[in-house]
Structure 1
Amino acid sequence: MKKRIPFICGNWKMNTTVEEGVNLAKALKEQTVSEEVEAVIAPSFLHLYPVKEVVDGSSWKLSAQDMSSEEMGAHTGEVAGEMIQGLEIPYVILGHSEARGRGQSNELLKKKLERAFALGLKPIFCIGEDESVYEEGETISFVLNQLEESLGSIPTEKWKGMLFAYEPIWAIGTGKTASAEDAQKVAKEIRRWIHEKNGKLGEELRILYGGSVKSDNARSILEQEDVDGLLVGGASLKAEEFGKIVGAGVFHE
């Protein structure tokens, strides 16, 4: 059995009304979550407070979907990390492919990472390639370049508790899924990169896979040596289905 506790995060993206999100959170709260798994949901910013009221005191934790690179101030439409911190929400997704697609560069993500670390938030840092990179066989070099440009110059002592999420863009919302072996291959290289920066963290930090994850493929992905969890999109909007995915993270010797 792996030493690292599996981490299963449901990213709701821009879905559900507040009422629907609260009802989904209530349905999830009714499900038993094993202590052997860390279960997290990432609602939209508007949902965070009411959903937090639902899940407080349960096994479910929360993550924000993004945050500003700036401190609180005159930044209309943005959400400061201090606001997330003030709600005692431990995690924040940074670098999701959809956010990168809206123009978030590695340089901007470095600033966001630095803000998150300064506030004691734990980033779920996403990296991944599009289909053209994948077909050219350049996945590893592309992913490692994303890591180096955004995180490489930030002192490793600040990384403690953060997570890495490999999400091949060509497998997000397309029905296509990287094979478990593909996920392992990339996760192994990410871990090697972390290990070169800080050997201890290379063994401690968790690496997730994201991309058309469902209950019928979750277990095979989680069984891979260097894959420690899942970043789940559409399937996390169905309480029963997401509960099965979370359950797939329970391993017994």
Structure 2
Amino acid sequence: MAERTPLVAANWKMHKTVAETEAFLDAFVPRAAELDGAELVVCPPYPSLAPAVARCAGSGVRVAAQNMHEEPRGAFTGEVAAPMLTELGVDGVILGHSERRLLFGESDESLARKVPAALEAGLTPILCVGETEGERDANQTEAVLRRQLDADLAKASDGRLAEVVIAYEPVWAIGTGRNATPEQAAEAIAFIRSLVAHREAAAGEAVRILYGGSVKPGNAVEILGRDGVDGALVGAASLDPTDFAAIAVAAQL
């Protein structure tokens, strides 16, 4: 069985100015050496990416963006291309977060282009998938995950699937304070792994699958201790360096 390094990513969404980003990292980065059992990623807003890269240099903490355009350049006002991110020293990018899908109409067709564009640029995609409350209540969780992954990974070449990080985020647990039970999270993640393995067996073993749904220090050990759960995509709890460090510790247990 492939050894998978746990990954814990801080999705700050539209929080933290440049000064606040620097203050967070001044507090968090010195702790990173004690957390070397997990890969640590911070995902600040665009204006803070370059300052974050500078603050994290040499620390092992990686920096990722929260979105990107699928084209490398062009007349797309307000968008940012993958090569622009790599030039800054950014290592990865969140793709398909539920807020992007629900609030900005991001489609699976667009994500199918973004995933290979990110890989081609040298970025690690953190691809988010998950069902709404209505879909879960209708017993459609597996159908939704299958549809999203089949579409979103359609253009990713075989041999590179293992480079994609997948985050299972039940939409009904994002920013609501609710959470999937550890059993629900583990079942969904196991199903996601089976879908990847069906396409490419080696990738099914190697791909890292995170949980992202109101993870906080109080529930991190129980959720992240489940077999097959390779880390977390953390929202609100990642805004505090002490809380984020506690979740990173839980991912290593």
* The two structures share one fold, judged by TM-score above 0.5: yes
1:1-253 pair list within 5 angstroms: 3-32=3-32, 33-101=34-102, 102-251=104-253
Q: Return the offset for 1:120.
A: 2.0
**Counterpart Cα distance in 2 of 1:93 and 1:34:** 22
**Counterpart Cα distance in 2 of 1:53 and 1:118:** 24
**Counterpart Cα distance in 2 of 1:242 and 1:35:** 14
SS state at 1:62 partner: strand
Question: Which runs of no fewer than 5 residues in structure 2 stay unpaired?
Answer: none
SS state at 1:111 partner: helix
**Greater helix proportion:** 2
Q: Return the offset for 1:208.
A: 0.3
Moved over 4 A (4+): none
TM-score by length of 1: 0.96
- Please list the CA deviations of residues 144-167 of structure 1 after superposition, one character each: whole Å capped at 9, or x if unmatched: 110001213432223232100000
**Counterpart Cα distance in 1 of 2:114 and 2:153:** 10
TM-score by length of 2: 0.96
Question: Which runs of no fewer than 5 residues in structure 1 stay unpaired?
Answer: none
Please give the root-mean-square deviation of Cα atoms over the aligned residues, in Å. 1.4
**Counterpart Cα distance in 2 of 1:238 and 1:35:** 19
Aligned length: 251
**Counterpart Cα distance in 2 of 1:176 and 1:248:** 19
**Counterpart Cα distance in 1 of 2:2 and 2:207:** 12
**Counterpart Cα distance in 2 of 1:246 and 1:146:** 28
CA contact (8 A) 2:129 2:149 kept: yes
**Counterpart Cα distance in 2 of 1:159 and 1:46:** 30
**Counterpart Cα distance in 2 of 1:154 and 1:212:** 29
- Percent of residue pairs bearing the same amino acid type: 39
Q: Return the offset for 1:2.
A: 8.4
